[in-house]
Structure 1
Amino acid sequence: MKLTGAISMAFLIVLVLSLALTNAAMEDEKVLSCNPKELSPCSPAVKTGSKPSTECCAMLKKEKPCLCGYVNDPVYGQYIKSKNAHKAFSACGIPPLSC
């Protein structure tokens, strides 16, 4: 009888841990959802080389985990790779991309 109780308890612990890990993974997905359109405040800096706005820097920092993915995008890659974008990254304290 004690063995059955121990096995049941172990199963319950594994079940609870797997549910917790699944929920944590789902939260990470929400946090890391990439949306290149959120970088629109950086458009003036990227197009003209002007100083990036505070809002631009905030969005660059938020989207930093996504920037390498944007490099290979046919629409956004040209902007992310541009000299002006790298100036904006630097001005916002974002290190050079190593994609």
Structure 2
Amino acid sequence: MHKFSFVPYCVVALVVVVLFSGGTRTAEAVTCDVSELSPCMAAITSPKPPSTTCCSKLKEQKPCFCQYLKNPTIKQFVDTPRAKKIASTCGVEYPQC
């Protein structure tokens, strides 16, 4: 059994707060705001499967994935084997940017 540290939760929370304060818009109708993915935190930080809400948000934010991957602060959370597995579980294709 893995022992989870409190530090990753703090880092994730900090990233969400920082990014929530400055959402970026794309030319599409989707507002690219990584805080919209907060329903996925439980699945990212633990072995829990993604919730229905998480999967809905992943599908909604899919047009923003390449933008998130270009941001080094966000990339460290969305470009991981766990994040890719969550996307796959939700039926969301992981982008090739």
Please say whether Structure 1 and Structure 2 have the same fold, judged by a TM-score greater than 0.5. Answer: yes
Segments of 5+ residues of structure 1 without an aligned counterpart are 1-27
Contact residue 68 and residue 97 of structure 1 kept, 8 A: yes
Q: Deviations over 1:34-88 (max 9, x none)?
A: 1110000001111224210000000000000001110121221111101110010
- Of residues 65, 68, 75 in structure 2, which corresponds to 1:67? 65
Greater share of residues in helix: 1
Q: Which residue of 2 aligns with 1:31?
A: 29
RMSD value over aligned CA atoms? 1.6
Match runs of 1:74-89 below 5 Å:
74-89=72-87
Answer with 1 or 2: which has the greater Rg.
1
List structure 1 runs of 4+ shifted beyond 3 angstroms. Answer: none
Is the partner of 1:56 in helix, strand or coil? helix
Greater share of residues in strand: 2
Query: Size of the alignment, in residue pairs?
Result: 72
**Structure 2 CA distance for aligned equivalents of residues 57 and 67 of structure 1:** 14
Segments of 5+ residues of structure 2 without an aligned counterpart are 1-25
**Structure 1 CA distance for aligned equivalents of residues 28 and 51 of structure 2:** 25
**Structure 1 CA distance for aligned equivalents of residues 81 and 91 of structure 2:** 15
Match runs of 1:1-99 below 5 Å:
29=27, 31-99=29-97
TM-score, length of structure 1 as denominator length:
0.66
TM-score, length of structure 2 as denominator length:
0.67
